[in-house]
Amino acid sequence: MPKMKTKKSASKRFKIRASGSIKRGQAAKRHLLTKRTTKNKRQLRGAVNMHEADVKSVRRMLPYA
């Protein structure tokens, strides 16, 4: 049986933590930021956990993570 391929787009976007939860970056932080408040931009910093409903599909994309 051939090796399973990792979806490279997913491997660049998501990291699996030691606890098994999946870390992802926040959206809406690339451009058009002048209309956003400083507080809003600050709250978009950092990483958050992936929602439980999406974990199964992301794990399938990262078979060796």
pLDDT tens per residue across span 6-64: 999 999 999 999 999 999 999 999 999 999 999 999 999 999 999 999 999 999 999 99
Q: Residue 33's pLDDT is what?
A: 97
Q: Concatenated DSSP letters for 3-14? A: PPPP-HHHHHHE
Phi first, then psi: give them for residue 56, nearest 5 degrees. Answer: -60, -45
- pTM for the full model? 0.81
Residue 65 reports pLDDT greater than 90: no
- Taking the C-alpha atoms of residue 65 and residue 63, their distance in angstroms, rounded to an integer, is 6
As to burial, measured by CB atoms within 10 angstroms (0-12 exposed, 13-18 middle, 19+ buried), residue 7 is middle
